[in-house]
């Protein structure tokens, strides 16, 4: 298998041809923040949290493949500010009240906010009026917290081989819709990867709330991405 060598923040990184920048960085113990990328799902390139500069141009690291000799910037003040702004906007665009959310401490949006030092909204909160679908016996969908990352859409399609979720409308009217009158009318099961894939408290399992106490949850103590960074230190 032919390899390529590139530089990320001054560190020489060996990668496989065809690999995405996100995966190549991960292999070298470099964390590039992300939200819409999930496991081995085909990348979507929609959230832009993974933006890096490649030879001076901004690219989404989850979709951009490696090229030999590329100079990649990741942890610069400019890119951190760019990503921080995206996270800031996601917070004000929905209704994210972390202190009342069962996903707190497991939530990737909240964890990224911690990582970027966000403590209060920078923009005006929009307080949109959105529905909660409680119809399913084991899962609920809270549109207030949906960040439209599309992970559930792709996981349902590509991993669960169902088509429970889809997006409708565009721009600020874009929203998630289920393939039926409500969640209960779909073939969604609590064990579906689509449910596990949600990075925030939008798609949640019922009856397991607070089984892990606040303070003992993954991101309560360890910053998001630290697992990748420490793997690279070994
Ligand atoms: Fe993403 Fe969750 Fe919304 Fe699905 S429900 S689009 S996984 S935030
Ligand atoms: Fe790359 Fe969302 S993780 S665009």
pLDDT band per the 50, 70, 90 thresholds, residue 40:
confident
Q: Residue of the nearest CA to atom 3 in ligand 2?
A: 34
Residue 175: Cβ within 10 Å count:
14
Residue range 202-207: average pLDDT? 97
Is ligand 1 within 6 A of the CB of residue 111? no
pLDDT band per the 50, 70, 90 thresholds, residue 234:
low
Q: How far is 44 from 36, CA to CA, in rounded Å?
A: 7
CA 42 centroid distance within chain: 13
Q: How far is 131 from 6, CA to CA, in rounded Å?
A: 46
Domain boundaries, the chain: 3-75, 83-219
CATH 3.30.1330.20 fits 3-75, yes or no: no
Q: Which CATH number fits domain 83-219: 3.40.50.620, 2.60.120.280, 3.30.70.20, 2.90.10.10?
A: 3.30.70.20
pTM, two decimals, is 0.95
Is ligand 1 within 6 A of the CB of residue 224? no
């Amino acid at each position: 298998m032919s390899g390529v060598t590139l530089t990320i923040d001054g560190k020489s990184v060996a990668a496989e041809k065809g690999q995405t920048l996100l995966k190549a960085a991960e292999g070298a113990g470099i964390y590039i923040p992300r939200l819409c990328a999930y496991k081995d799902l085909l990348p979507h390139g929609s959230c832009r949290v993974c933006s890096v500069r490649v030879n001076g141009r901004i690219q989404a690291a989850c979709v951009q493949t490696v090229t030999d000799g590329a100079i990649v910037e990741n942890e610069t003040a400019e890119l951190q500010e760019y990503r921080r702004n995206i996270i800031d906007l996601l917070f004000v665009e929905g209704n994210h009240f972390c202190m009342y959310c069962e996903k707190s401490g497991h939530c990737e949006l909240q964890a990224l906010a911690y990582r970027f030092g966000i403590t209060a909204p920078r923009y005006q909160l929009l307080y949109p009026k959105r529905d909660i679908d409680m119809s399913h016996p084991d899962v609920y969908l809270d549109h207030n917290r949906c960040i439209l990352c599309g992970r559930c859409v792709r996981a349902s399609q590509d991993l669960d081989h169902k088509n429970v979720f889809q997006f409708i409308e565009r721009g600020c009217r874009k929203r998630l819709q289920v393939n039926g009158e409500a969640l209960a009318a779909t073939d969604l099961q609590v064990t579906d990867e689509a449910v596990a894939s949600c990075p925030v408290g939008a798609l949640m399992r019922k009856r397991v709330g607070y089984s892990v106490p606040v303070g003992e949850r993954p991101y309560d103590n360890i910053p998001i991405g630290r697992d990748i960074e420490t793997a690279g230190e070994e």
